[in-house]
Structure 1
Amino acid sequence: MGAGDGQVSGAAPHGSHVAARDHCLSPARAVDRPTGAARYGRMFPGLDPLGTDPQLLMRAGTDGGICDAAAVLDPLSDGGDDATEAAGWPFFGQLIAHDITADRSPIAGDVAPDALRNARAPVLNLEMLYSDGPIGSPYLFDLGDPARFLLGTDGGDVPRNQQGVALIGEPRNDVHLFSLSLHVALLHAHNRIVDLLRGAGVPEAEVFDRARTTLTWHYQWIVVHDFLPRLVGASLVEQVLAEGGRWFAPPPLQAFIPLEFADAAYRYGHGQIRHSYRLVEGGSAVPLFPDLVGFGPLPADRRLDLGQVFDLPGRPAAQRAKRLDGRLAASLIGLPEQVTGVVDTAAYRSLAVRDLLRGETTALPSGEAVARLMGVAPLTGEEVGESWPHGTPLWFYILKEAEHRGGGDQLGPAGGRIVAEVLIGLLRADPAGYLSVQPDWEPTLPATGPSFGLADLLTLGAR
């Protein structure tokens, strides 16, 4: 059976629409794509591991350590560490991470780096949304109209079981209000695309696959043309698109997630989490944790107005993300148990500690070594601001590089290249992605400005 072929299921139709098709292929899946756990790998295999005393890492990442932003809050004026971009962008970045990587090994590093397995396919294909589709994951879709996602009763939440557990393609998207709100917005966007396709006369048997491809390609476009330029700069994005990756360019169907990306560079977003957030205009500001922790039903009076964290058309400017400076908000230095689970060491409640230890257990090189290999002038000791005995842990280095070489608003040259090459490289290695199928493709959904962006996708379901 060829891609896109398939027969309507023999079961009786539900409502006015045909039942979901039981087909072995779709435009979002290639016949020879691996079905087992994907692998991690190295972007810089020739560099030696840094090797830092774990006790030093834990002191750096706990209360009062160099990664704790609380110590510098008092001298700052209100909004004194605000960045240029809106506060929602690191949460969109988190959704991308959930789409392409899931390392479920213990934080203590009991698994050798070469034995790590990625529970996600390293593809930007919205697997976090669609899971196995209406056939493999029928609980995600409307029984009466399986081309559409099922939503909570009032449309503001995902459906949940009798114990409040989200029926969702990626459980981590229920970790806090922001990731869940973005997930719900994407569900609405898919359903709106279904409506648009039907209005355009697309045959019913093709509607779901067309809707999935439409949403996925627009999401990929946003990653390349909206998200990455804000994070690493438009010139670097254009360079990687034109010249390909110098350090990461996997062939089709051979993509993997570099540990330097997953356990260092792409954890940049932890440094962009604000100290507190306003959910609605005029509302009180509250910290991310524990106030906005998820993993339970979302009451109607706890909903997020996305215009508070993204610059949406016709709306006032949103709150801004925190500047990148190597420090994390207090709510991340003391994560709640709902997020970490039961830990045997109190320091493991700090996200900074977890980030630093993860880089140690996966044997990452120092930030200085990566910069020198790339031909980039390493940060000075004064810029790093901490005396590390043998070099700076890569995750912390990338945050400090963003502070001093990116103005606190963008990643610096080393961190930016890692992120840009990996995300664009993953797209090019995906035979179903728009960069492979139709590199000159442009968005077809309505846009409020000259170029389609995330703001258009987030408001699509409300139109």
Structure 2
Amino acid sequence: MSEAATGGSRFSRRSVITGAAGAAVATSLVLGGGRAEAGVPTGAWGHGGAATLRGADVVVKLGRTRQGKFGLMFPNLKPYTPPESALTRLAATMVDRRPPAPDPSAARDGFDNFAVPSGYTFLGQFIDHDITLDHTPLEQATADPQGIRNFESPALDLGSVYGRGPTADPHLYDTARRPAGFLKVDIRDGVEDLPRDASGKAVVGDARNDENLIIAQLHAAFLCLHNTLMESGMSFAAARQQVTWRYQWLVVNDYLPRMCGADVVQSMLERPKTGLGLRFKNSLYKPQNLTKPMMPLEFAVAAYRFGHTMIRPEYELHDNHTKPIFGAEGYDLRGRRSVQREDRIDWSYFFDIPGMSVPEGRNFARLVDAKLSLPLATLPATVVGDSPVAALAERNLLRSVRLGLPGGKAVATAMRLTPLTDQQLGVNDPKLGGDVPLWYYVLREAEVLKGSRVLGPVGARIVAECILGFIALDPTSYFSSGFTREPGYGMGAFLVEAGVVQLDERMAPDPEVPDLPEEPELPEDPGLPEAPDAQEPPT
């Protein structure tokens, strides 16, 4: 029987790709604190750790056309190799000097993106952890340092929530409840938290989801929704499938349109002329091995790191309770500790909640631009370890060069776009060699061409095509079904369904569905007999 039928383990492609799932690689790297799986870095606020990612150096060590856990979208482009001193100078220009404010409403400094509530920053981090989660046994990871054979392909299958299933990871499941399959979750005094052992360590499928108090409570919401569906009478397998499909649907219809633009997402999807589901139309993401697809370095090390610029210096968790992302330990948002009642999130400060008014202190994401909030310029030792480089921007820029990525202008030209000029990029350093790192280009492109509201054409295409491709190449994803949600269903409705939203005096008398990007009206498949490009290896 299948694992979905038995409820014994994960039903996604991860378990059937190969006997061993690959070593974990985080697009948001983490160091310090916490126990790691084989090769899985862990620590506070997974932004910019210095550890070398297993397999991320594949093109440097084995050649630009090689693919394993990682590979290149543009293998024919030369690596961009400016002197690192020039990147250090560029990073010094990428700091938003505003310090954390006592209240977000008191810090309206022109850098708020009022179209994106800040919860989507953390949903993006959750997605990142999901697609980079890996369970390669240590001995197999050691024997395959470039991640060519033993690795786990990217998939949005909630491995961080379900682990490898009740049989392989029984510690994630509440064996005292019947029927079998309920997930452990800690609910104390109305506070939803991750389950923890006696030392306070989170018992979850991915320790990175305990990096900060916000993502920890977001993860707990997924646990609560699964249990709520089981309490309604669903089996474990059915509840797991429904939670996973809701999540994937939200990524496609709520998250990606806000980050990349609904038109970009629409252009990559079509409905088949007959039958159910969606079909993915790609032009850039063409993994050589369709059963073990790689993750493009242009996505992992550059484009998807746009989320770093969306991070605020501070967040209001609920009325009159604001904390900085980094500050005095125990008084900031760093995780690895139980969520106290005063730190319980009022989700209306992070997402549009159906029927609830917007609080005055609503946290909005920072604009997507070439500036990072001040606390990210001096990351604490719990993040950077012994590294002398404490600025996240500098760490990102250095990493892209050391891993052999092409420059931003070169990528734009390869995509048949007119690249930004040095003036538009805001650079005049001849040592940069006429180009800039791809990550920096993606940020400036959003600022210059899209007013910092969404990603520009290079960044949006890479991000949307990779994430949609990861979903499309998973045969168990909602793309292969007729699953959908009602118009207006967004993260706020998901959290209401999970039972983690506090109903208070701000409930509107006449609930209205919040304005969300509409589900794309996709063109019908013209009936071509050929599968989409992603189904064909590159020539």
Whether these two folds match at TM > 0.5 is: yes
Q: TM-score, normalised by structure 1?
A: 0.84
CA distance 1:267–1:31, shift in 2 (3 Å): closer
1:103 and 1:116 in contact (8 A); partners too? no
1:217 aligned to 241, 245, 256, which one?
245
CA distance 1:212–1:421, shift in 2 (3 Å): same
Match for residue 454 of structure 1? 491
Q: Which moved more, 1:85-94 or 1:387-396?
A: 387-396
| 1:383 paired to 2:404 | no
1:142 and 1:150 in contact (8 A); partners too? yes
Match for residue 258 of structure 1? 296
- Rounded to whole Å, the distance in 1 between the matches of 2:335 and 2:296 is 29
1:442 aligned to 469, 484, 491, which one?
484
Q: Which amino acid is 2:408 matched to?
A: G
- Rounded to whole Å, the distance in 1 between the matches of 2:15 and 2:134 is 25
Q: Which amino acid is 1:260 matched to?
A: E
Task: Give how far 1:305 is off.
Answer: 1.4
1:430 aligned to 474, 483, 508, which one?
474
1:30 and 1:432 in contact (8 A); partners too? no
1:238 aligned to 254, 258, 266, which one?
266
Q: Which moved more, 1:140-149 or 1:420-429?
A: 140-149
2:354 aligned to 292, 295, 313, which one?
313
1:173 and 1:179 in contact (8 A); partners too? yes
Task: Give how far 1:303 is off.
Answer: 1.8
1:299 aligned to 313, 316, 340, which one?
340
- Rounded to whole Å, the distance in 1 between the matches of 2:375 and 2:151 is 27
2:225 and 2:497 in contact (8 A); partners too? yes
- Rounded to whole Å, the distance in 1 between the matches of 2:453 and 2:353 is 20
| 1:99 paired to 2:130 | yes
- Rounded to whole Å, the distance in 2 between the matches of 1:42 and 1:72 is 38
1:157 and 1:184 in contact (8 A); partners too? yes
2:133 and 2:159 in contact (8 A); partners too? no
Q: TM-score, normalised by structure 2?
A: 0.73
- Rounded to whole Å, the distance in 1 between the matches of 2:240 and 2:262 is 28
SS in 2 for 1:246: coil
Q: Which consecutive residues of structure 1, in runs of 5 or more, have no partner in the other structure?
A: 7-20, 105-110
1:175 and 1:339 in contact (8 A); partners too? no
Q: Provide, for residues 274-317 of structure 1, a one-character-per-residue CA deviation record: whole Å limited to 9, x for no partner.
A: 1221111233x332123101112222222221111111112233
Map 1:91-170; keep pairs closer than 5 Å: 91-101=122-132, 115=146, 120-145=152-177, 146-154=180-188, 155-170=191-206
Q: How many corresponding residue pairs? A: 417
- Rounded to whole Å, the distance in 1 between the matches of 2:121 and 2:297 is 19
CA distance 1:31–1:165, shift in 2 (3 Å): closer
2:5 and 2:237 in contact (8 A); partners too? no
- Rounded to whole Å, the distance in 1 between the matches of 2:404 and 2:14 is 33
| 1:336 paired to 2:380 | yes
- Rounded to whole Å, the distance in 1 between the matches of 2:134 and 2:499 is 35
- Rounded to whole Å, the distance in 2 between the matches of 1:324 and 1:213 is 33
| 1:275 paired to 2:313 | yes
- Rounded to whole Å, the distance in 2 between the matches of 1:176 and 1:279 is 12
Q: Which amino acid is 2:97 matched to?
A: A
- Rounded to whole Å, the distance in 1 between the matches of 2:207 and 2:461 is 30
CA distance 1:40–1:305, shift in 2 (3 Å): same
CA distance 1:329–1:116, shift in 2 (3 Å): farther
Task: Give how far 1:190 is off.
Answer: 1.0
Match for residue 32 of structure 1? 16
Fraction of identical pairs, as percent: 34
Q: Provide, for residues 195-222 of structure 1, a one-character-per-residue CA deviation record: whole Å limited to 9, x for no partner.
A: 22x1xxx5xxxx1111111111111111
Task: Give how far 1:57 is off.
Answer: 2.0
1:368 and 1:379 in contact (8 A); partners too? yes
- Rounded to whole Å, the distance in 2 between the matches of 1:194 and 1:337 is 42
2:94 aligned to 64, 67, 79, which one?
67
Task: Give how far 1:375 is off.
Answer: 1.3
Q: Which amino acid is 1:80 matched to?
A: G
Q: Which moved more, 1:363-372 or 1:316-325?
A: 316-325
| 1:287 paired to 2:324 | yes
2:326 and 2:333 in contact (8 A); partners too? yes
Q: Which consecutive residues of structure 2, in runs of 5 or more, have no partner in the other structure?
A: 23-67, 136-141, 271-279, 501-539
Match for residue 437 of structure 2? 393
CA distance 1:77–1:151, shift in 2 (3 Å): closer
Q: Provide, for residues 231-278 of structure 1, a one-character-per-residue CA deviation record: whole Å limited to 9, x for no partner.
A: 111111111113611011446423211000000000000000112211
CA distance 1:411–1:234, shift in 2 (3 Å): same
Q: Provide, for residues 384-416 of structure 1, a one-character-per-residue CA deviation record: whole Å limited to 9, x for no partner.
A: 112352211111110111111121110000000
- Rounded to whole Å, the distance in 2 between the matches of 1:180 and 1:124 is 18
SS in 1 for 2:292: coil
Point out the structure with the larger helix share: 1
Match for residue 53 of structure 1? 83
TM-align CA RMSD: 2.6
2:413 aligned to 372, 381, 401, which one?
372
